[in-house]
Amino acid sequence: MTAPLILPVDDLERHRVQRRTVVVLIAGQIVSGLGIGAAVSMGALLVAAVTGSEAWSGMAATMNTLGAALFAIPLALLARRRGRRISLTTGAVTAALGALAVVVSAVLDNPFLLLLSMAVLGIGSALNFQSRFAATDLATDSTRGRDLSLVVWSTTIGAVIGPNLAEPSDVLGRSLGLPELTGGFVIAAAAQLLGALLYALALRPDPLLLALGPHRAVPAGPERRAARGLVILHRNLTARRAVLATSLSHAVMVALMGMTPIHLMGHGADLTVVGITISLHIAGMFGISPVFGLLTDRVGGRGVILLGQALLTAALLIAALGSHSNQLVAIALVLLGLGWSASNVAGSTMLSGAVPVEQRPATQGTSDLLMNLAGAGGGALAGLILAGVGFSGLALCLLVPVAVVSLDQLARRR
């Protein structure tokens, strides 16, 4: 008879802390996602109202994305110095201040301050991205993908419920005597403050500081330069391939998803059809991410990234050939979300496993920076491509970055 497996006390303690950490991160993602979802759904409308021009409405998402990119590395550096608890708490409080600044901007009817506040609110997105990496600090090689994907999956709840709070939040704003469309940002501020309280009180012991152990000291001099994210990526092929996959997949997703409402409305679809299509896309992005996490643990990140690129290819071909059909465009958007989910979960898991724990915060922050910049660039170029060659042409053009990722993953390791 085989004796039961008994883990050393240290391993048992790490396992207990890891389970508690994942639960706290999931709760934080749900709370913060509710607030961000309620705010982002009203952001474009508020920018259009304050600026007096619908042409500026797209700047809400653009500034949010740029803000997420801007804060990615500072949050990572803070995590490396003080731990995930301080980093996530600081990020949530800053996001709450950004949401309140949006309300003040609307009261003052100041477009410049409004756009700047939207960028500060973007730290909420950077916070969500860092949360998925926090789930890997104490994870083992066999559970890293699962734990990361569970935190990604929890975003679904806020992403789906948040936009549906638009009308109740507007009623709340009017009851407080605030300008129209600002109630969602009041909810966002309250949700982020609740998330900050949750991180501050419940994320103990700190998973990153516990994982760092004897490596807690911050490098100095030449060692600090060697620990920078770009330097690490230059020296680490696996990490570099993981970042390339997540960044280009994110750019493809943002480019096609961002232009879909314009395409559908131009072909006679109403707002209900547009809303259903985007909701299905979001469900694809987050709904089955744990499946991709388990697959990553079993077959490795490279195989799941290639699966993600295959799903993206199918999405782009259906969008190109079926652009005349609202139903086929909806199917394409679901596959687009699934392809993004597989690539993001597998790439993020691969990145965390490719570098030692003391290098992870810097590398993860750089990865999020590059991913958000790629998304912003993809969204900006998509409008120009759409104007030039239409929706079908845009989908075909986006096959190029998919091919780049696929060939990079298939290339023989040097």
**Cβ(101)–Cβ(113) below 8 Å:** yes
Beta strands in 284-372 (DSSP E): none
pLDDT at 7: 42
Helix (H) or strand (E) holding 106: helix 84-108
Q: Which fold has domain 9-218?
A: Growth Hormone; Chain: A; (1.20.1250)
pLDDT at 40: 61
pLDDT at 384: 83
Contact partners, residue 301, CB within 8 Å, separation at least 6: 145, 242, 346, 347, 349, 350, 353
Alpha helix positions (H), 176-268: 183-202, 207-212, 222-226, 229-235, 237-266
The two three-digit tokens of residue 182, written as one number = 């600002």
Cα gap 327→299, rounded to integer Å: 33
pLDDT at 1: 41
pLDDT at 5 over 80: no
pLDDT at 26: 92
From 340, 406, 393, select the one nearest 371 (Cα to Cα): 340
Cα gap 2→131, rounded to integer Å: 39
Q: Kindly report whether the peptide bond that precedes residue 4 is cis, defined as omega within 30 degrees of 0.
A: no
pLDDT at 397: 95
Cα gap 411→222, rounded to integer Å: 32
From 129, 112, 15, 85, select the one nearest 369 (Cα to Cα): 129
Q: Which residue, chain included where needed, has tokens 């120009």?
A: 384
pLDDT at 274: 74
pLDDT at 295 over 90: yes
Torsion angle, alpha carbons of 242, 404, 341, 28, to 10:
50
**Cβ(92)–Cβ(199) below 8 Å:** yes
CATH superfamily of 223-414: MFS general substrate transporter like domains (1.20.1250.20)
From 335, 347, 354, 218, select the one nearest 277 (Cα to Cα): 335
- What digits encode the pLDDT tens for the residues 48-64? 788 887 666 667 777 88
pLDDT at 143 over 70: yes
Helix (H, G, I), strand (E, B) or coil at 414: coil
Cα gap 61→136, rounded to integer Å: 28
Same fold for the pair 9-218 and 223-414: yes
Query: From the centroid of its chain, how far is CA 32?
Result: 13
**Cβ(15)–Cβ(142) below 8 Å:** no
CA distances from 193 to 98, 154, 188 (A): 12, 18, 9
Helix (H) or strand (E) holding 394: helix 360-397
- What digits encode the pLDDT tens for the residues 262-293? 788 787 777 677 777 877 888 888 889 999 99
- What digits encode the pLDDT tens for the residues 203-258? 989 999 988 876 555 555 444 544 477 888 888 999 999 999 999 999 999 889 87
* Residue-range domain boundaries for the chain: 9-218, 223-414
- What digits encode the pLDDT tens for the residues 69-126? 889 889 998 998 999 999 999 999 999 999 999 999 999 989 999 989 988 988 888 8
End-to-end Cα separation, the chain, in angstroms: 47
Cα gap 167→175, rounded to integer Å: 13
pLDDT: which is higher, 166 or 5: 166
The two three-digit tokens of residue 395, written as one number = 């989908």
**Cβ(342)–Cβ(308) below 8 Å:** yes
- What digits encode the pLDDT tens for the residues 370-383? 998 998 888 778 87
Worst-scoring range by mean pLDDT, 135-149, 257-271, 350-364? 257-271
Across residues 394-408, what is the average pLDDT? 96
Q: How confident is the prediction for the chain on average, in pLDDT?
A: 85
Cα gap 13→262, rounded to integer Å: 52
Torsion angle, alpha carbons of 107, 112, 113, 119, to 10:
130
